[in-house]
Structure 1
Amino acid sequence: MAKQTIKPELQIRYPYLDRNVGAGCLFGLGLVAFIDEAVFHQLLHWHHFYDKSTTGIGLVSDGLFHAFSWFATIGGLFMFADLLRRKALQLHRWWGGSLLGSGTFQLYDGTIQHKIMRIHQIRYVENVIVYDLIWNFTAITMILAGSMFLIRSKKDQGKHGRISSNES
């Protein structure tokens, strides 16, 4: 009777498959939040994280958002370094997680924060729908690309014998 076993050289990597995705998600979420904050809040001055109050409150909310984005990015990089140290890094899974985290955060921002909670808009113009469509299309594209990376990595694992059959 055939028994599924993990090849010896992969015994270290196999338990960390999900951690690759988690590290990528955290990094991607933090990175896209940082880019959002730096570009749209600081450089272009299109909005603050919280626009329903004074400019001072908006700036404080931007600072808290900026701190959150850096904590997430650094946390994801620490997890990345740990995977490297354990020789368990799988870049396809990490990149898939990064794109998935980036896209998920951006879609959450574009739908929940912009449209449902209305804490800010991308840009305060008459025809904001164009900005919303581009924002959310970009988010969905990142989610789909990340999902494709993860699907491909699972197929590659099966093809390259990550799990082998040994007779017992």
Structure 2
Amino acid sequence: MSDTADDHRRSLLLWGGVFGFGLGALVDVMVFHQVFQTHHLLSGFYDPLTYDGLRTNVMFDGLFSLGMLAIMGVGMAMLWRTANRATRPLSSLVVGGGTLVGAGVFNVFDGVVDHYLLGLHDVVHGTEAYNPHWVVVSLLMLGAGFLVLQLAERREGPTAATEEATE
């Protein structure tokens, strides 16, 4: 089964993005939920400053982490499959850019939907002061991913399908 350069690049970008989405979520849980002990998944509904509220939040944080591990696993498995079926070398820049884009998408979704629309939680319990900063940093992460993808395009040149179309 032959794959065109465009199909290969699209698969790397898609599955790198899926992997990055899960990775961004897991980094969020490890850093903010566990290390800083804030930003728990359902702290807008269960007060994490009470024993029962903290236990409930930690349980849902753990279930969320398991779901994100599954998403990361699917992304990694499909990246592996794409790399093994390809007739061209794996583009680490495209995978890296896709991973950054996926992590940025997760964090923008978290910041906009979870913080503002659903009110599930805030970056810091009891204050919305850091929510705008979260969204800005998330957009910067997303932008960094797109910059890496542009760099990949410049370094690797146009894809074979694009070259054939211009001839």
TM-score normalised by the chain length of structure 2? 0.79
Which amino acid is 1:96 matched to? G
Question: What is the correspondence of 1:9-158 to structure 2 with a 5 Å cutoff?
Answer: 13-51=5-43, 52-53=45-46, 54-87=53-86, 88=88, 89-126=90-127, 128-129=128-129, 131-156=130-155
Q: Mark the CA change 1:97 to 1:165 in structure 2 (over 3 Å): closer, same or farther.
A: closer
Two-structure CA RMSD over aligned residues (Å): 2.6
Identity of aligned residues (%): 24
Q: Secondary structure at the match of 1:145?
A: helix
Deviation at 1:107, TM superposition (A): 0.8
Deviation at 1:61, TM superposition (A): 1.4
Q: Mark the CA change 1:36 to 1:11 in structure 2 (over 3 Å): closer, same or farther.
A: closer
Deviation at 1:67, TM superposition (A): 0.6
Gaps of 5+ in 2: 47-52
Structure with greater proportional strand content = 1
- Once residues 20 and 86 of structure 1 are traced to their aligned partners in structure 2, the CA distance between those partners, rounded to angstroms, is 12
Q: Mark the CA change 1:155 to 1:64 in structure 2 (over 3 Å): closer, same or farther.
A: same
Q: Secondary structure at the match of 1:58?
A: helix
Aligned to 1:6: none
Deviation at 1:59, TM superposition (A): 2.4
Q: Secondary structure at the match of 2:32?
A: helix
Maintained 8 Å contact 1:12/1:86: no
TM-score normalised by the chain length of structure 1? 0.78
Q: Mark the CA change 1:11 to 1:30 in structure 2 (over 3 Å): closer, same or farther.
A: closer
- Once residues 85 and 97 of structure 1 are traced to their aligned partners in structure 2, the CA distance between those partners, rounded to angstroms, is 18
Q: Mark the CA change 1:148 to 1:16 in structure 2 (over 3 Å): closer, same or farther.
A: same
